[in-house]
């Protein structure tokens, strides 16, 4: 399993299972002889440990492996993470956020929020050094939710009844065949608020904003446009992907002048933009801009009762 060193004993010797590596695609070539690179990693779709990865058991482990691959490569001077996600599971979002923080400790990480980087998508994005979005990006949605269905009345109409044997009074507390009790409601709400406080604390710390101010204003679950997020100091800049790439060059190569990309950057400068793979795998595709630091380079829907961001 990726991200976790797997050992097996063979004659008393431990052998470490090698971490799978992602195939790298050259998108922009620099001048001959320059080895500096910027790694571009994409994260698209629902954030969930139950979604299969392309080289590991889950998309979460894939993301952690891709970030580690970029982090440990001395040729990579900066990382761009392109996020297009509505969020997902709390633990999965936190795991990718933590991997980003580790990568950020070694080299600059620029986050580009595409069409959607809300809830868990924003949680993950907080791990970057510089956050950028377009004015029309949908982001925010800082909050936590658990939802389930109550089908008691439907059961009554068709003559069905749920029979439950349980070891404790809370074991079936989200059972949709009966009303939720006040004790159960209080317990679930307490769990939600504790998880929310962790999310809020990360936003407050990473964005250097008072938690109480956030709690009483924009951190109430509302969505925000990229422009609103910038005005609220949830992100650092507005722009397109080219601008995020230019920022990564600036942060990764402080001693060299920065050449801004041309208007046809996306269409004509790349050898390849997307891999022909299933959407769950494309979400973690790793792509590179080789020699990007050279100054002469040319230009939610989940199962009920899941805890979600």
Q: The domain spanning residue 251 has which CATH number? A: 3.90.226.10
Dihedral sign for Cα atoms in the order 108, 239, 81, 214: positive
Does residue 51 sit within a domain? yes
Does residue 176 sit within a domain? no
- In this prediction, residue 300 carries a pLDDT of 38
CB 89 within 8 A of CB 121: no
- In this prediction, residue 184 carries a pLDDT of 96
Does residue 163 sit within a domain? no
**Which residue among 119, 261, 269, 280 is the active-site one?**
119
Instruction: Split the chain (309 residues) into runs of 10 and give each run's mean pLDDT.
Output: 33 58 71 78 95 91 94 93 96 97 97 97 98 98 95 95 95 95 96 97 98 97 98 98 93 51 24 27 35 38 52
- In this prediction, residue 235 carries a pLDDT of 98
Q: How far apart are CA 204 and CA 272, in angstroms?
A: 38
Q: Which residue has the tokens 């990007």?
A: 292
Does residue 164 sit within a domain? no
- In this prediction, residue 31 carries a pLDDT of 61
Does residue 151 sit within a domain? no
Q: How far apart are CA 59 and CA 282, in angstroms?
A: 10
- In this prediction, residue 306 carries a pLDDT of 57
Does residue 293 sit within a domain? yes
Q: How many folded domains does the chain comprise?
A: 1
Does residue 161 sit within a domain? no
**Which residue among 162, 166, 169, 171 is the active-site one?**
171
- In this prediction, residue 309 carries a pLDDT of 76
| Distance set, CA 34 to CA 93, 137, 249, 279 (Å) | 36, 35, 14, 33
- In this prediction, residue 175 carries a pLDDT of 95
Residue 152 CB coordination number (10 Å): 16
- In this prediction, residue 211 carries a pLDDT of 97
Does residue 8 sit within a domain? no
Q: Is 119 a catalytic residue?
A: yes
Q: How far apart are CA 200 and CA 263, in angstroms?
A: 38
Q: Which are the contacts of 219, defined by CB distance < 8 A and separation ≥ 6?
A: 142, 143, 200, 203
State which residues form the domain around 200. 23-145+181-308
Q: Is 102 a catalytic residue?
A: no
């Amino acid at each position: 399993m990726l991200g976790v060193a797997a050992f097996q004993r063979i004659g008393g010797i431990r052998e470490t299972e090698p971490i799978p590596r992602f195939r790298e695609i050259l998108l922009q070539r620099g001048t001959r002889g320059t080895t500096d690179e910027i790694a571009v990693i994409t994260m698209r779709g629902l954030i969930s440990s139950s979604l299969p990865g392309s080289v590991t058991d889950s998309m979460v482990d894939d993301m952690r492996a891709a970030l580690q691959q970029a982090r440990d490569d001395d040729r990579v001077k900066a990382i761009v993470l392109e996020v297009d996600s509505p969020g997902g599971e709390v633990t999965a979002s936190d795991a990718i956020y933590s991997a980003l923080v580790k990568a950020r400790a070694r080299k600059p990480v620029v986050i580009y929020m595409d069409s959607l980087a809300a809830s868990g998508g924003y949680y993950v994005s907080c791990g970057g050094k510089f956050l950028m979005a377009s004015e029309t990006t949908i982001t925010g949605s800082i909050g936590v939710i658990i939802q389930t269905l109550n089908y008691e009345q439907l059961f009554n109409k068709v003559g069905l009844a749920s029979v439950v044997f349980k070891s404790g009074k809370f074991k079936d507390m989200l059972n949709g065949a009966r009303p939720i009790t006040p004790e159960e409601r209080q317990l679930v709400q307490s769990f939600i608020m504790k998880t929310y406080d962790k999310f809020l604390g990360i936003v407050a710390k990473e964005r250097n904003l008072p938690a109480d101010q956030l709690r009483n204003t924009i951190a109430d679950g509302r969505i925000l446009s990229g422009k609103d997020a910038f005005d609220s100091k949830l992100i650092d800049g507005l722009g397109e992907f080219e601008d995020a790439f230019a920022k990564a060059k600036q942060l990764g190569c402080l001693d060299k002048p920065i050449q801004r990309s041309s208007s046809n950057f996306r269409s004509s400068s790349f050898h390849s933009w997307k891999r022909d793979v299933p959407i769950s795998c494309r979400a973690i595709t790793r792509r590179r801009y080789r020699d990007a630091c050279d100054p002469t380079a040319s230009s939610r829907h989940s199962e009920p009762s899941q805890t979600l961001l």
